[in-house]
Structure 1
Amino acid sequence: MQSQLKNLSLLKLEMQPSNIALLSIDVPDNAVNWLPEHFFRELNDVLEYLKTDLPSGLVITSAKKQCFIQGFDLDCFQNKTADELKQYSAFAQQVLTSLANLTIPTLSAINGNCFGVGLEIALACDYRFVSDKQSLNLALPQVLSGILPFAGGTQRLAQCIGLRNATPLLLSGRKISHNEALKLGLVDKIVPVPRLLALSYQWIKQRQNNVPPLKKNPLSLTIKKLENSHYLRHKYLERAETKIWLKEFGHYPAIKKIIDVLKETDFDIALQQEQNAFVELFQTEESQVLIKLKRTQRAMRLQYRHISNKVQDVKHVSILGSGYMGAGIAYLTANAQIPVRIKDIQPIEIQKALHTCYALMRDAVANKEMAYGEMIQRMNLISGGERLVSMQQTDFIMEAVYENLALKQQILQESERFYSEKAIFATNTSTCHIQDIASVARHPERVIGFHYLSPLTKRKIVEIIPHKTTSDQVIATAVHFAIQQGRIPMLVSDTEGFFVNRVLIPYLLEAIECVVDGEAIEFIDRSLQEFGFQIGPLSMIDDMGLDMIVKSNFAMVSELGERFRLPKNISLLVQNERKGRKNKRGFYLYDSNGERSQEDKSIYHVMEVIPRNDLESEEIVRRCLLRMINEACWCLQDNVISSTDEGDVASVFAMAFPEFRGGIYAYIDKIGAKEIVKQLRKHTELYGSRFEPCDWLLERA
């Protein structure tokens, strides 16, 4: 059969017993299926062939063991004209319509992550079976790249699970588990991994014998019919648009376009609108910067792949220290399905750490990020105790005690005496130099720095800091471990503050300076959110803990200069125990569940300031942004990072910088060094030397 279908490089068609056709997707030289431009041409050839000699059924699956389809390679569209983009979208829609119109039962056997075009293909099939892999997720995440599904996905998702279920998934790009997908009706069955294909064939064979199809919920069918009412559809989508606009401030044009396409009830007209919207969105600046961010994320996860044959999965982790950060690292490690043991000299602290892990997992269950059974399984991977154990099993040691160089050095020496000399020692620090910690090691080449960011579950970046003699293999394993934990690894130099804190702290301190100058807390946060930040700077301080910023400040001022000096009234906040979410008192008040409730107006009295609100929103944004921009340029001057593209990703996923603006360095390029220097000099006259531009900016201006 393969010989009759020439030039198939991505697809393999085989006949199974009972005249069932199996179509396997396998992108060569790739660990996962990123579909290239010619995929739809090959799929069309296969479908045309099947029409000439119809089998009794068709099963589509992936030849990759860990993935169904990861997505579509958007780079192939970069040099296409608007007409070419529209033609491609129309052709992709036509191919999937041909798949949907086959007169035989069709089934997608989904054996791993199913994203983007992959889910559009699955939606064009009659049925969808998924394996019971815990890590399997499904999503239409195109909105995160500033576009929308271009092969009919907007319409088929709404047809499959109803408008009310489809809209939030399309507008957020959120990944859902196989369990949630089953509840929504997006998939028809969850089956054991080894039996996925066998049960798929069995189902097709039953359909040959006129066995009734899987039962659909009559209530959901009624709701879908009501949603096709022009009036009700428009009312619901208008409310959704208002809600999204208030949250996103109209910064994401893809959201508006998706809603407009969903308003159309005629399937063929909606497909044409989808084509037009895809072309228009792909050519926007927002889409181009978002696509570049996604491309850089993938590249960061592929670092050191050239020596991946020397890197193995981390099999057992020992965490030394049971504070909030140690507990958070244990949680991430258990989520990666790696056994982890927390060691601390205080039994009560270990109990707190285990409770923190449980609370984080319980929240994940409540947010539908994992099933209850998965939570129990992952909690069973976490243990704790007062003694060093697991001598032979541990291959990765994570030190997570408080910021004290002598203590970290002591723990490193104890670990080298107890654990295998092949084990990697990673130190989680935000203020100590890795070179100083490693200076007492017998095997300094096996020591590396990790900097997880707080709140750990929300900030995806982890900074990985090798020192001068850290081996390449250790660096590669550290990068791989971060990926196992679901983090985005970023290599940075062993300098004070590393990258994220060094750029972020001046921005946060300037927000406090605005409070000192009489600006209202909520107004400051709102101003930066309207610019596009996911969270306001004062809210972010509450999440991090003001005490942590103050503790690290002395070293930053000592090494980086007076521009890191704390605002004059900040000591009053520290004395007043304003630790934010940790003790439910910061710039905002927090309820018993730790949820932010309202601005704490008593803070003005504590800081001895009177809110006057003299500044416009744009002036507050400019002050805070200029501090961040200037320090980002300092980091380039001091060679803290090697890639501005990676700096853009870190600014978005660690500093909440507006994603649609492409990141901090993309924004710097857009504004231009000349204008930035002009504004910095103006602000130096107004507010002092902390705004003086760095040499790197001056040279480019």
Structure 2
Amino acid sequence: MQTDYQIVAKADYQNDAHADLFRLSFYQDNIAVIAFNISAKKQNWLDERFIEHLQALLDQLPAWQLRGVIFVSSKENSFVQGFSLSPLEQKSDAELYQFSQQCQHLIQKIKALTVPTICAVQGSCFGFGLELALACDYRLATDDIETSFAMPQVKSGILPFAGGCALLTAQIGLKPGLLMLLSGNKISVNRALDKGLIDEVVPKAILFQIAVNHINNQMSSTLQNVKKGYHRLRFKTENIAWLRRYLIEQVEQQVWLKAFDNYPATKAIIQLFKQRQEALPSAESDCFVMLFGNKTSAVLRRMEQTNREMRHQYHDLQSDDKIKKVAVLGSGFMGAGIAYITAARAGLPVRIKDINPDGVQKALRLSYLLLQKEVDRGHLPYGKLLQKIYLISGGERFIGKQTADIVIESVYEDLQLKQNLIEESESYYDKNTIFASNTLTLSIAEIAAKAQRPQNVIGVHYFTPVSQRRMVEIVPHFLQRNVQGKVLPQGTSQQTIAKAISLVIEQGQIPLLVKDSPGFFINRVLIPYLLEAYYCVLDGEAVGTIDRALLEFGFQVGPLAMIDEMGLDILVKALPTLERSFGFRFALPHKVEQLLLNERKGRKNRRGFYLYHSRSGNRTQVDKSIYQVLDITVENNLEPEQIVRRCILMMLNEAAYCVQEQIISNQNEGNVASVLGMFFPEFRGGIYAYMRDVGAATIVAELELMMAQHGERFRPCPWLVQQAVEEQVAQSTAEPSAL
């Protein structure tokens, strides 16, 4: 944040010790400005040193004649991104407890200052940063889309360690505060204002000056007294035993279906709040120590760390050339979703081209509805909606001399059609324009085979629904071309890869570089899992029973509901190519043609394994008529764990094939991709972490048992068999884990 305050040194305070953590300045000589600035990082990730030095500074403040204190950040779009947990892993339980108490003492020192304290937030304000903000008397925030708030500690398997549970619920109320703690999700600045989490939203340009004005005017003491009185009254009301129990039970019922019993932090936070509000701060430290040592927390922290490493790695691979305009060929559900995230998140103009004018209109309408949802949720002002929807245009023809840095095709899985689109695009767009194919199974090298500039061709594979599935596969190709009797390599250029990664990041998605192979990584692993769920239906298991079993295992979406999201027609279209490449594991299941003839396309036409609301498109209930179409009788002979075992084994086996064929660069990225792209249970650490936890020998033994019962599709991958042999040689006599 750029401010015009002058720096005035205090003779009794040494500035050098904290120079790489925060900057102490003085405005008008009597307003202390503490600007967070972790110089070693792009964003403000705090650590123990920060706490120690800020505490030392706070000890000095009462000795100075100040009118107030303002907390800001010197980094663009990052007030506080989070707290670095890795160093805490070396601490004993006693040291962790002492650390939590130290953080709570810091918060109490801010609250105890006798002069007004204002937190001026621009950018992300997460975790410990939000705890610091809640300790202040007044909270200002900028009105831009980058400013957001969260208590995300539950996603790392822990809870706030500086008193955040008590602070948050005291500020916005028991029920909304508890829901925010249990979800860990970000909320926009407008929602934060509505909840009472912040006091005022102001333009970015005058954020600091408004904070100064509040200090000079002593923050309208009458208004502050009214707010404090309201908070005291609500605190007393919510501490009435029967009302407190009622509110907590409401929250418990609301989150239990999502959490089941897989997240210890969720359960611990609810149990914590069953105590009286006054007991929370001290109990938080005990609970933090208990959760930090839990295996689930260690797994989730490792996932978060890998996720951050991937983001940093791909950020470094971005192109320096700014992308200015995007074109999308194809106006279907996928094309509309790509156009939406391009305009809404990247803020780039995008044109949709399709030979079907009605399709273009539908795509434009879908983009509008997705933006309207953001407005309804408080994530986007209506004025911003109008700005973003004007970024999207469409038509059935190329008009004039079209300019685009990247052209993304999202049409039917037809090789010749995609090759024709490249030929048409190359004759129309600039020679530096990138052509990105959103193919599900076709080889990028084959798509690029007839291109004049194959170095500009790349696979950029999105997943439906695009606005929710954040992982995007980036697929370079390596094409051998015969030019005048010579065989020359003409694969995707590094510049093309860099530009594709830049676009995906700007769209708010997470890129994953994968090998050019049918199905790539995510669908290659996911499809056998989905097919096995369908085989369970054919064996007489109810749709709801199957999906419920996998939800209890930890998936965010059941496999049959996932088929509806993908579209059964799209899945079936992909199978012949996959079967030619990988064999019987991807064979077309019997009776599936009956579903296609019955127009069971899923969400996009409002009927599949489930029924969908005619207007909203939300899933409503299982469509029981599907059993008649398939001519089967529901018997439910399998236990939930048997259903889970069948489906998961197919997924694990295919993930092993992907390692064997080097489809991904490393298994850690595969873990993140499985969580973000396949909804694999995050608390299990991702698919490869789960495989290591269970053990190759156990997985191979289970696959062989399933192969005897259900056929060749369960034959173990040779790499997995080799891992099992090596594991048995190296292992002690300890029995392997169960699935």
Q: Classify 1:445/1:25 alpha carbon distance in 2 versus 1 (closer, same or farther; 3 Å).
A: same
The CA deviation at 1:209 is 8.8
The CA deviation at 1:313 is 3.6
The CA deviation at 1:392 is 6.9
Asked if 2 retains the 8 angstrom alpha-carbon contact of 1:395 and 1:422, the reply is yes
The CA deviation at 1:220 is 6.8
Asked if 1 retains the 8 angstrom alpha-carbon contact of 2:354 and 2:360, the reply is yes
The CA deviation at 1:306 is 4.3
DSSP 3-state at the match of 1:473: helix
Please identify, of 49-58 and 195-204, the stretch whose mean Cα deviation from structure 2 is larger.
49-58
Indicate whether 1:488 and 2:510 are aligned. yes
DSSP 3-state at the match of 2:97: helix
Distance 1:298 1:623 in 2: 33
Please identify, of 183-192 and 379-388, the stretch whose mean Cα deviation from structure 2 is larger.
379-388
DSSP 3-state at the match of 1:7: helix
Distance 1:186 1:390 in 2: 50
TM-score normalised over the length of structure 1: 0.96
Asked if 2 retains the 8 angstrom alpha-carbon contact of 1:332 and 1:485, the reply is yes
Cα shift readout 1:54-89 (whole Å, capped 9, x = no counterpart): 421010011001211111111121222111111111
Aligned with 1:325 (options 334, 337, 342): 334
Distance 1:193 1:697 in 2: 55
Aligned with 1:581 (options 603, 609, 617): 603
1:587-666 correspondence runs (5 A) = 587-592=609-614, 593-666=616-689
What's the counterpart of residue 539 of structure 1? 561
How large is the Cα RMSD of the aligned pairs?
1.9
1:26-37 correspondence runs (5 A) = 26-37=37-48
Asked if 2 retains the 8 angstrom alpha-carbon contact of 1:188 and 1:214, the reply is no
What's the counterpart of residue 352 of structure 1? 362
Please identify, of 432-441 and 7-16, the stretch whose mean Cα deviation from structure 2 is larger.
432-441
Indicate whether 1:96 and 2:107 are aligned. yes
Indicate whether 1:694 and 2:704 are aligned. no
What's the counterpart of residue 533 of structure 2? 511
Q: Percent identity?
A: 47
Cα shift readout 1:555-609 (whole Å, capped 9, x = no counterpart): 0000111111122121211111111112222111222132222222221121121
Asked if 2 retains the 8 angstrom alpha-carbon contact of 1:5 and 1:45, the reply is no
Indicate whether 1:679 and 2:702 are aligned. yes
Cα shift readout 1:619-655 (whole Å, capped 9, x = no counterpart): 1110001000000101101111111111111111121
Distance 2:602 2:253 in 1: 31
Indicate whether 1:381 and 2:404 are aligned. no
Indicate whether 1:253 and 2:276 are aligned. no
DSSP 3-state at the match of 1:552: helix
DSSP 3-state at the match of 1:303: helix
Distance 1:217 1:45 in 2: 28
Distance 2:263 2:221 in 1: 48
Aligned with 1:424 (options 411, 429, 434): 434
Cα shift readout 1:189-213 (whole Å, capped 9, x = no counterpart): 1111111101111111110896754
Asked if 1 retains the 8 angstrom alpha-carbon contact of 2:402 and 2:428, the reply is no
What's the counterpart of residue 160 of structure 2? 149
Asked if 2 retains the 8 angstrom alpha-carbon contact of 1:317 and 1:394, the reply is yes
Q: Which amino acid aligns with 2:157?
A: G
Distance 1:307 1:564 in 2: 34
Asked if 1 retains the 8 angstrom alpha-carbon contact of 2:333 and 2:604, the reply is no
What's the counterpart of residue 314 of structure 1? 323
Q: Classify 1:390/1:375 alpha carbon distance in 2 versus 1 (closer, same or farther; 3 Å).
A: farther
Distance 1:613 1:307 in 2: 50
What's the counterpart of residue 736 of structure 2? none
**Equivalent residue pairs, number:** 699
Gaps of 5+ in 1: none
The CA deviation at 1:178 is 0.7
Distance 2:179 2:399 in 1: 47
Asked if 2 retains the 8 angstrom alpha-carbon contact of 1:141 and 1:174, the reply is yes
Distance 1:645 1:558 in 2: 29
Q: Which amino acid aligns with 2:166?
A: Q
Indicate whether 1:285 and 2:303 are aligned. no
Q: Classify 1:591/1:212 alpha carbon distance in 2 versus 1 (closer, same or farther; 3 Å).
A: closer
The CA deviation at 1:48 is 1.4
Asked if 2 retains the 8 angstrom alpha-carbon contact of 1:176 and 1:369, the reply is yes
Q: Which amino acid aligns with 1:658?
A: P
Aligned with 1:397 (options 400, 403, 407): 407
Distance 2:359 2:695 in 1: 50
The CA deviation at 1:367 is 3.2
Distance 2:142 2:533 in 1: 49
Indicate whether 1:71 and 2:82 are aligned. yes
Please identify, of 498-507 and 368-377, the stretch whose mean Cα deviation from structure 2 is larger.
368-377
DSSP 3-state at the match of 1:60: strand
Asked if 2 retains the 8 angstrom alpha-carbon contact of 1:361 and 1:375, the reply is yes
Asked if 1 retains the 8 angstrom alpha-carbon contact of 2:80 and 2:129, the reply is yes
The CA deviation at 1:119 is 0.7
The CA deviation at 1:218 is 7.3
The CA deviation at 1:277 is 1.0
What's the counterpart of residue 479 of structure 1? 501
1:213-292 correspondence runs (5 A) = 213=224, 216=227, 222-267=233-278, 269-292=279-302
Indicate whether 1:47 and 2:69 are aligned. no
Gaps of 5+ in 2: 1-8, 479-490, 725-739
Distance 1:212 1:686 in 2: 72
Indicate whether 1:527 and 2:527 are aligned. no
Asked if 2 retains the 8 angstrom alpha-carbon contact of 1:5 and 1:46, the reply is no
Asked if 2 retains the 8 angstrom alpha-carbon contact of 1:301 and 1:479, the reply is no
Aligned with 1:15 (options 15, 20, 26): 26
Please identify, of 203-212 and 172-181, the stretch whose mean Cα deviation from structure 2 is larger.
203-212
What's the counterpart of residue 497 of structure 1? 519
Distance 2:606 2:220 in 1: 63
The CA deviation at 1:346 is 2.5
Asked if 1 retains the 8 angstrom alpha-carbon contact of 2:541 and 2:634, the reply is yes
Distance 1:67 1:169 in 2: 20
Asked if 1 retains the 8 angstrom alpha-carbon contact of 2:157 and 2:264, the reply is yes
Asked if 1 retains the 8 angstrom alpha-carbon contact of 2:161 and 2:284, the reply is yes
DSSP 3-state at the match of 2:677: helix
DSSP 3-state at the match of 2:604: coil
Distance 1:274 1:210 in 2: 32
Aligned with 1:107 (options 100, 118, 126): 118
Q: Which amino acid aligns with 1:568?
A: H
Q: Which amino acid aligns with 2:139?
A: R
DSSP 3-state at the match of 1:4: coil
Q: Classify 1:390/1:692 alpha carbon distance in 2 versus 1 (closer, same or farther; 3 Å).
A: farther
Distance 1:145 1:69 in 2: 17
Q: Classify 1:192/1:76 alpha carbon distance in 2 versus 1 (closer, same or farther; 3 Å).
A: same
Asked if 2 retains the 8 angstrom alpha-carbon contact of 1:68 and 1:114, the reply is yes
Asked if 2 retains the 8 angstrom alpha-carbon contact of 1:207 and 1:213, the reply is no
Distance 1:647 1:170 in 2: 28
Q: Which amino acid aligns with 1:226?
A: T
Please identify, of 95-104 and 602-611, the stretch whose mean Cα deviation from structure 2 is larger.
602-611
Distance 1:654 1:71 in 2: 24
Q: Which amino acid aligns with 1:670?
A: D
DSSP 3-state at the match of 1:448: strand
Distance 2:34 2:321 in 1: 32
What's the counterpart of residue 558 of structure 1? 580
DSSP 3-state at the match of 1:519: coil
Please identify, of 517-526 and 238-247, the stretch whose mean Cα deviation from structure 2 is larger.
238-247
1:462-477 correspondence runs (5 A) = 462-468=472-478, 469-477=491-499
Distance 2:618 2:333 in 1: 17
Asked if 2 retains the 8 angstrom alpha-carbon contact of 1:134 and 1:374, the reply is no
Q: Classify 1:144/1:210 alpha carbon distance in 2 versus 1 (closer, same or farther; 3 Å).
A: closer
Q: Classify 1:347/1:341 alpha carbon distance in 2 versus 1 (closer, same or farther; 3 Å).
A: same
